Structure 1
């Protein structure tokens, strides 16, 4: 599972950074891609990545500012031409449905694939057998969300040595024992899965926040996340300007990461005032509070490890 940053700029595209779009690629877990925001020229950025529009299964929009949604109509049209078999679902604040429908209608665009649009409120917005997605409310002047993606825990390892001690030889019965709570053996012996399987393996947790002022109260929602993606529009010496424009500083992002005990912080949504050779100061500022901080660049890829200690 990997995070691909297609655009890492704030507000306006620049020569160094396109506007916001992030993809969570899950080839083994779901054979699909989940996209978070779709700023102008996102589909051009996709051409420089290994990701395919037809593999996009879900798009989560944080808010309706143009640098986060202007790429949607074009991407939807392109994806339609590719005739993907995946149903596409879009999640976002109230107004996202009207924006998409009007954009496609007045441009005469056809979306051949089935398309579901969900206008959401804070809380759990998606759940299946393997994953949950929670939307948390942010502070940005207009309705804005962050998304917390969690992989559900999986069964622990089967203790083969213990089964052998019980006189059960390796074979298909081992899989049966792991897959059901109680297994009745031909000799009448009952084996409880809980007695021969180790603790559940915790799933991964990825938090991708939209534009926001510093919200220390989010620490409980973000607790122990493997990765926190947080905007860093301003440097540490401009907290008042950041708050006035509904944004955060690198230092504030780091403070939240530390309070929430996350494993890794990735900074994005970088103001165009920081040119490519100057943006590193933001990561340096953040590391004074939270050492495991990375600065995302366009087309950066970060692996989301199953074992966080490997990251």
Structure 2
């Protein structure tokens, strides 16, 4: 997998504002387009930010209305566009009941199949070149975070070494890169480890969904390339964060620090911080020394390959 790109469709908590839509995030993983949450108005944001509508799967963190009601209109739009291949929807219970209602709302049936799958902590969804893992988190209702883990990448092919060993250029190079041994014309066997370096780790993207700071997410986010963590409140709203089972920006940054992530992006902001999230950013930077920023609608981030 070469491309791993995120586009934030909505970064507001609970209600939309003039500047921020409700929760929604697309992830482009090579040819796959994934959707994480789909708040009301998400499809308009997809048009606005040019993500396209070719979503293969949608993952819901939980079923508070601001995280999933947008799927109703999105499904109808896909039907009007003539979609025929299946769309897979994933989320924690009661995903089957609530998403079934969304699929069948209205008098017109959809032109394409919709598969609904319930996930629990520890479940995984295998895709081409990567896996999406579900992580149980701490919110007021049943909720999940997600880890998109890229497969380990093949080691570097040492061209000069292969030539030195007499491997002819062409199909033999490809075999060695695929892990197959090659027998030369003189009977010598060249093994992949003779010319290919050790495998390289894949990238890891972690999406918290709505949650209090929790050990399960810290464990799942260890050494992640990017943690996208909710930061609904600031320090002076700590009591409200505890009451609603959300996180402050400082707490999100503490999760990032304890997990040793490489980069942190804060999202899901209370309307109090709609146009000026500087307080959140400042408090997060006091806890986490790595790169940290506050997401805005339309923010696009590409994760580079690991060396």
Scaled by the length of structure 1, the TM-score of the pair is 0.93
Is 2:26 aligned against 1:23? Answer: yes
1:289 to 266, 287, 290: 287
SS of 2:49's partner is coil
Q: Decide whether the 8 Å contact of 1:33 with 1:57 is kept in 2.
A: yes
1:9 to 4, 8, 12: 12
Residues 129, 3 of structure 1: alpha-carbon distance in 2 compared, 3 angstrom cutoff: closer
Range 135-144 or range 298-307, more displaced: 298-307
SS of 1:80's partner is helix
Range 8-17 or range 282-291, more displaced: 282-291
Post-superposition shift, 1:195? 1.9
Distance 2:111 2:40 in 1: 22
SS of 1:273's partner is helix
Structure 2: where are the runs of 5+ without partners?
none
Range 112-121 or range 139-148, more displaced: 112-121
Range 266-275 or range 174-183, more displaced: 174-183
Distance 1:42 1:217 in 2: 29
Is 2:181 aligned against 1:182? Answer: yes
Distance 1:219 1:130 in 2: 24
Runs of 4+ in 1 over 6 A off after TM superposition: none
SS of 1:153's partner is coil
Post-superposition shift, 1:202? 1.4
Distance 1:63 1:128 in 2: 21
Range 165-174 or range 260-269, more displaced: 165-174
Post-superposition Cα deviations, 1:236-295, rounded to whole Å, max 9, x if no partner, equal 23222211111000000000101111011000000011131x212211210112131110
Query: Residue 280 of structure 1 corresponds to which residue in structure 2?
Result: 278
Query: Residue 119 of structure 1 corresponds to which residue in structure 2?
Result: 118
Matches within 5 A, 1:69-218: 69-84=68-83, 86-218=85-217
Query: Residue 43 of structure 1 corresponds to which residue in structure 2?
Result: 43
Range 9-18 or range 174-183, more displaced: 174-183
Q: Decide whether the 8 Å contact of 1:181 with 1:194 is kept in 2.
A: no
